[in-house]
Amino acid sequence: MTLTTRQYLRQLDKNTLKKLFKLADLEEDEYWLLYYAYVEKRMRENTCMKLNIRATKYATLLNEALIKVDYTINSLDKIRTL
């Protein structure tokens, strides 16, 4: 059984998450959204208030950011297997 990107990110420590988020080609809002959601483990409402965004924008940004992070993880895996 394979892990989803969200499950994989929950297993990583804070320093690894920070490095991964910096490697991924994220916009500033996407970076901070992932940082607050996975490194600081804030609730959605608190993250929305901190970033001054609505819950629908949160969901859209999170999905886009996770796609970019997933691509980065897959790229790193391919490099590691060469």
Cα 43 to Cα 58: distance, rounded to the nearest angstrom: 11
**In which residue are the tokens 């080609």 written?**
25
Amino acid at 5: T
The pTM for the full model equals 0.85
Domain 14-81 has CATH 3.40.50.300: no
Q: What is the pLDDT of residues 12-71, one digit of tens each?
A: 999 999 999 999 989 999 999 999 999 999 999 999 999 999 999 999 999 999 999 999
pLDDT of residue 81: 59
pLDDT of residue 1: 38
Confidence of residue 2 (pLDDT cuts 50, 70, 90): low
